[in-house]
Amino acid sequence: MLVGLLTFHTQWTKAVEIYKRQNRLYINNVATFLDKYLAGYENSVKEMARVAADQHKFDGDAKSEHTLRNWMIERLRIMPDAISIIHADNKGHFTRLPYVEAASSWEPGKEPWFTLSIENSDAAHFTVSRDPFANKERVITLSLPVINGTDGSNQGVLALNLNMDKSTEILNTAQSPTKSNTFVMTRGGELVINPGYPIDPAKLKALARYAREFRGDFVMDSHYYAYRSITSESWLVMHEVDESELNNQVWNQCIAILWGILFTLVMLFFCWWATRSAMNAIFMRIATSIRNGAIKPTAVEELILEEIHNSQQRQKNIAHEALTDGLTGLKNRRAFDADAAQCNSDPLAYLAMVDIDNFKNINDTWGHAVGDIVLKTVAELGLRLRGLENITLYRYGGEEFAILFNGISQEKAISYLEKWRITVNTRHFRENELKVSFSAGLCQMGRGSLPEAIAHADKFLYEAKKTGKNKIVSR
């Protein structure tokens, strides 16, 4: 009985730790995905601030203003979740895309994102603000000062407003292993992203204090909390689980173990009773045989009360075929063949073939190590830009990639490829003279066999190469 209780206690402790580990893994995944999503836009803002400081003037001239607006429009088009781009200077003048008439009551210099960027120009800042022109009470604002690279003068602040709904969707679509609440807050205890349930402001302050003190998972007010940092550790993704819910899950798992222990105890008692009865009968027969002076062989045969049957379990070795490219982290050619065969029957699926321009010259000029860096960088940018869309990237072979778009319109597929192409074009490498671009061909699937679809995509890719490279051709 004592052994059974100790076993139950051990299993309970292990089950609690397993569920906590699952919740920690869940919050790690959510935080990583959300951080990569916001980091992609942070890199875009940094690149925009750099280009704005190098290529644009902020002297109030109408021609300069027109050039700035056109440039901001181009950047806004390649960021699907961006609501607006704003440039504000120290004199209160601002330029906003989409264009709005200047409101005398709105002073960008009093906005938190403007103040933070002016006071600290070393990094991009994440704040939650209000966009009065888009009728949005809460938007995520990424801001960065525009610093002239020649004389170091401050030329205002560049701000990007992101739709809060996209970040909320990431939290809502994540599947938690336990019934729980997941939200984003600042380290000071201010709520940032709330998927839709009320949270007491005093509770947020207490959570911020606990996070500073424990620096790890903790329990507060009968709730288990796991959290991770995002946006350069200025925000916290907080995962809240009621301890009663956690205990219910552990109990449901351990109740089977408890019933098993009880059943084992009953069976052990029954076996002890049956063995004792059988042995008593055997000893009585032996004693009777000795008393009568004869021991019959049949008395020994009765010592075997049951037959023991041994069963052997066969172990099956499952050969795991590698489906991931070791260099880029993308799926490999074997995975593409399997996935593309399934998608080819869907007329709403599209196939793109992408090839890095002049890749042989890159290897010949800077070496294969730099060529590998280029491959990994292009793959990473493609993965980062795909967001939550049903887009799958593959390394088809060498410097060639394949992309499957499932349930996505041709316009969205082209938009994604263009964003990817522009991002690769503007990527800076350690080698100052290294410029990377790619060409792509896009075709609709489901109109013939898979080899025909691949041939069409390759044909459009060849056309893009032949007509100047660094472009996307589609039909």
pLDDT of residue 293: 58
Beta strand ranges found along 168-222 (DSSP E):
181-186, 191-193, 218-220
- Domain end: 166, 192, 219, which one? 166
Q: What is the CATH number of the domain that holds 463?
A: 3.30.70.270
- 300 domain residue, yes or no: no
CATH number at residue 154: 3.30.450.20
Low-confidence ranges of the chain (pLDDT < 50): 297, 299-309, 311, 316-320
Q: Considering 166, 188, 209, which residue would you say is the last residue of a domain?
A: 166
Judge whether 185 lies within some domain. no
Count CB atoms within 10 A of the CB of residue 38.
21
Beta bridge partners of 140: 128, 162
Residue 436 structure tokens? 């990377």
Asked if 455 and 443 touch (Cβ cutoff 8 Å), the reply is no
Looking at residue 103, its pLDDT comes to 56
Retrieve residue 364's tokens: 């010949």
pLDDT for position 319: 34
- The rounded distance, in Å, linking the Cα atoms of 330 and 341 is 18
Alpha-carbon gap, residue 311 to 179, rounded angstroms:
42
Q: Considering Cα of 262, then 267, then 270, then 272, what sign does the dihedral take? A: negative
Closest CA to 48 of 157, 137, 208: 157
Within 8 A by CB and 6+ apart from 213, the residues are none
User: Cα 202 to the chain's mean position, in Å?
Assistant: 30
Domain that holds residue 409: 333-474
Q: Is residue 100 domain-resident? A: yes
- Helix, strand, or coil (residue 135): coil
pLDDT at 330: 93
pLDDT one-digit tens code per residue, 80-126: 888 889 888 888 788 888 877 655 578 888 888 888 887 776 778 88
| Active-site hit among 42, 65, 399, 400 | 399
Residue 245 belongs to some domain of the structure = no
Rounded CA gap, 384 and 54, in Å? 26
Residue 23 counted as domain residue? no
Active site residue 321: no
**How many domains does one find in the chain?**
2
Residue 48 placed within a domain: yes
Phi/psi-derived region of residue 145, left when phi > 0, alpha when psi is between -120 and 50, beta in every other case? beta
Check residue 312 and give its pLDDT: 53
Q: Which of 166, 195, 213 is the last residue of a domain?
A: 166
In a domain, 369, yes or no: yes
Residue 179 is assigned to a structural domain of this protein: no
What is the β-pairing status of strands 350-356 and 438-444?
antiparallel
Number of DSSP helices (H) and strands (E) in the chain, helices first: 12, 15
Which pLDDT score, from 0 to 100, does residue 317 have? 35
Which residue carries 């593959």 as its tokens? 394
